[in-house]
Structure 1
């Protein structure tokens, strides 16, 4: 893709995106809606955008405003971590005013501190966005994750020995408090920068994107400094892995329906492939925790359960996530773990 030949934008007007780019964005957005909802959103559905002020999110703002006129609202989250953030949010607000998009600047419910700042900021950002969406009755949230983000994510997770679910990368559709759609996962970072520049819109550079203390920054530099790996191809591979993961989920759902018994409760899965066992056991643990209100220790669909699977395959058992799993004949049973004895 190449930027359209356009005259410079004025201070009071931005150049619209090229029609070819708009057509592609509309097609990508419609495809995600079909995937997420089985069809298009209602014509009066309000579409929320998370716009940080970076070139990628500004491109999404320009594309969505032009492709979905009158339906888009935008928000910028000020995490309270940098003094420049307020000015950056004000810049986004000015661009939104130029193109007729309502804008809100959101602050966090509580300050961020301590370790793993990026992870905390991400969770707090989504909390703030979802609370805002509820107030304005928005139907869906769009974020500006793109193909280069996807390539970086795939490499990071390969380096952490992730399984199929982790290697699926950034999901095009995610269901949380509200549906989250990522219509730019097939777009390269350089295309989005060209689009924003061609419009005449300003953008900001987050200094954390150049901080070598972050894994993503190092993998971004690795990709930028070589010509062997193609980020677009890596992103497409992540999409193929995501399809495989979805197919496995469907297979596992069928085995769950056939082999999970409330009596016990127990699973008959010793004869199944390890990956299917892994997913069924995680689901059995989650089901047992929910049923008995077990909140600690923490457990998630990404928890490592390899030692538990090894024990079950040996015909014994172990405890994970507050649940005791035991191999009994051809069945694996799941019960709340007994309380630990105090000494």
Structure 2
């Protein structure tokens, strides 16, 4: 599990220790080196783990310049992925909780995110940029509950000043939620959980759509696909994205959505080096006419 020394991750450590025992868990602390105190904080976690009999590893990473929080997150998950493989743990656990989930949902609502984004922090997922299982068992717990566990154990946790630094969007959203007595973060987190269920349903139907409605295009010598588009827009967007990937490109969901809209209106769509052409096809033996969209690498542009 990832343990930074903050109250959330310390509560995760204590809960896992109580539920599983010391021999079945291990902890890793990522030292980003962004604050002078970070090395001492990692040593603090190492000492606590030694008292509990839990195996512990400190991993020091370098964070690229630019978007500090995003780059730190990427470096952290890559380090945890490598540790996951080297330590041969079955899953990496993080201490994301209901308040984190509520903040994430509000931030993504404000950005106009689709169902995938509004599903928020997934309860289970792949370790970003690596693979392997990422498990977040505390998404139904409130932050106050986790802090009470740590306080009850007589432990003074680490306090990261970036959590209250309002140059970061999350800190501003956090303060906003704290000031609202009519918003229940636990209910926002429950809504995100329902949206996660909806998103997993879309993923399932998109996998079925790929298997049943996408075929190699014989007219393109195996370098293209025919897509018999007969599903709701949210599912078709996922299928379009997968077709683009199979043809060697990369398209965001927003780009795939715009391609869907053009194709639905009977217009060609071009994205990530792939040309999609709308049409219809009469199915043999049934007499049914279906919408069919053809995807193939774009032809080279003329230099003249």
Alignment TM-score, normalising by the size of structure 2: 0.89
Is the partner of 1:50 in helix, strand or coil? Answer: coil
| d(CA) in 2 for partners of 1:331, 1:229 | 46
Q: Secondary structure at the match of 1:266?
A: strand
- Preserved contact between residue 95 and residue 201 of structure 1 (Cα < 8 Å): no
Question: What residue in structure 2 maps to residue 72 of structure 1?
Answer: 25
Is contact 2:115-2:199 (8 Å) kept? yes
Distance, in Å, in 1 between the alignment partners of 2:231 and 2:58 is: 51
Instruction: Determine whether 1:268 maps to 2:228.
Output: yes
The alpha-carbon deviation at position 277 of structure 1 amounts to 2.0
* Equivalent position of 1:90 in the other structure: 43
Does the CA-based 8 Å contact 2:255-2:271 persist in structure 1?
no
- Quote the residue 2:111 is aligned against: 160
User: Which shifted more, 321-330 or 123-132?
Assistant: 321-330
Alignment partner, residue 3 of structure 2 = 51
What's the counterpart of residue 54 of structure 2?
A: 101
**Which residue matches 2:277?**
326
How far apart in 1 are the matches of 2:199 and 2:144?
Answer: 29
Partner of 1:14: none
CA–CA separation in structure 1 for the residues paired with 2:179 and 2:213: 50
Deviation of the 1:192 alpha carbon: 0.3
Structure 1 residue aligned with 2:89: 138
Q: Distance in 2 between matches of 1:248 and 1:187?
A: 27
1:63 aligns with 2:15: yes
CA gap 1:248/1:306 in 2 versus in 1, 3 angstroms:
closer
In the alignment, the residues of structure 1 paired with residue 4 and residue 303 of structure 2 have an alpha-carbon distance, to the nearest angstrom, of 50
CA 1:68/1:313 → structure 2, altered by over 3 Å: closer, same or farther? Answer: same
The one of 227, 231, 236 equivalent to 2:181 is: 227
**53 and 338 in structure 1: CA distance in 2 versus 1, 3 angstrom threshold:** farther
CA-to-aligned-CA distance 1:305-331 (integer Å, 9 cap, x gap): 333222211212122122222213331
**In the superposition, relative to structure 1, how do residues 164 and 120 fare at CA in structure 2: closer, same or farther (>3 Å)?**
same
Q: Which runs of 4+ in 1 moved over 4 A?
A: 339-343
Q: Distance in 2 between matches of 1:72 and 1:207?
A: 29
Cα distance per residue 1:272-331 (max 9 Å; x no partner): 322222222112212222xxxx4xxx534x443333222211212122122222213331
Match of 2:157 in 1: 203
| CA distance in structure 2 between the partners assigned to 1:139 and 1:284 by the alignment | 32
Q: 1:212 to 1:266 in 2, by over 3 A?
A: same
The answer to whether the aligner puts 1:282 opposite 2:241 as a matched pair is yes
SS of the residue corresponding to residue 315 of structure 1 reads: coil
> Of residues 105, 117, 124 in structure 1, which corresponds to 2:75?
124
The residue correspondences of 1:164-183 to structure 2 (distance < 5 A) are: 164-176=115-127, 177-183=131-137
CA contact (8 A) 1:72 1:101 kept: yes
Q: Give yes or no for the alignment of 1:337 onto 2:263.
A: no
Kept in 2, the 8 Å contact 1:151–1:232? The answer is yes
CA–CA distance in structure 1, aligned partners of residues 296 and 68 of structure 2: 36
1:156/1:304 CA distance change after superposition, 3 Å: farther
Which structure 1 segments of 5+ residues have no match?
1-48
Structure 2 distance, partners of 1:149, 1:207, is: 16
Change (3 A) 1:205 1:340: farther
If asked which structure has higher relative contact order (CA below 8 Å, sep 6+), I would say 1
Matched-pair contact (CA < 8 Å) for 2:109–2:118: yes
* In structure 2, distance between residues paired with 1:234 and 1:153: 10
In structure 1, which of residues 171, 191, 196 is the aligned counterpart of residue 145 of structure 2?
Answer: 191
Unaligned runs of 5+ in 2: 218-223, 281-290
**CA distance change for structure 1 residues 68 and 316 in 2, over 3 Å: closer, same or farther?**
same
